[in-house]
Amino acid sequence: MKLYTSTFAPNPRRVTMFIAEKGIAGIENVMVDLAAGEHRSASFLAINPLARVPALELDDGRVLCETRAICTWLEGMYPQPNLMGEDFEERAFIEMADRRVEFHLFAGIANSVRHSHPGLANLEQPQFPDFGASQGEKMRDVARWLDAELANHPYVAGNRFTVADITAFCALEFARGLMKFHPGAEGMTHLQEWRDRIAARPAAGRP
| Residue (130 or 196) nearer to its own copies, CB | 130
Find out whether 190 and 45 touch, Cβ atoms under 8 Å. no
Q: For the CB of residue 146, give the shortest distance to its own copies in the complex, in Å.
A: 10
C-alpha torsion sign, points 142, 73, 40, 204: positive
Q: For the CB of residue 205, give the shortest distance to its own copies in the complex, in Å.
A: 26
| Residue (85 or 204) nearer to its own copies, CB | 85
| Residue (24 or 77) nearer to its own copies, CB | 77
CA neighbor of 22 nearest in space, from 199, 201, 169: 201
CA neighbor of 178 nearest in space, from 35, 8, 2: 8
User: What does 99-152 look like in DSSP terms, one character per residue?
Assistant: HIIIIIIIHHHHHHHHHH-GGGTTTSSS--HHHHHHHHHHHHHHHHHHHHHTTT
Q: For the CB of residue 73, give the shortest distance to its own copies in the complex, in Å.
A: 4
Note the residues at the interface with its own copies (CB under 8 A): 49-50, 64-66, 68-70, 72-73, 75-77, 87-89, 91-93, 95-96, 99-100, 103-104, 107, 115, 126, 128, 130-131, 134, 142, 145
Q: For the CB of residue 199, give the shortest distance to its own copies in the complex, in Å.
A: 25
The count of residues in the chain is: 207
DSSP character at residue 203: G
| Residue (21 or 98) nearer to its own copies, CB | 98
| Residue (96 or 151) nearer to its own copies, CB | 96
Q: For the CB of residue 99, give the shortest distance to its own copies in the complex, in Å.
A: 4
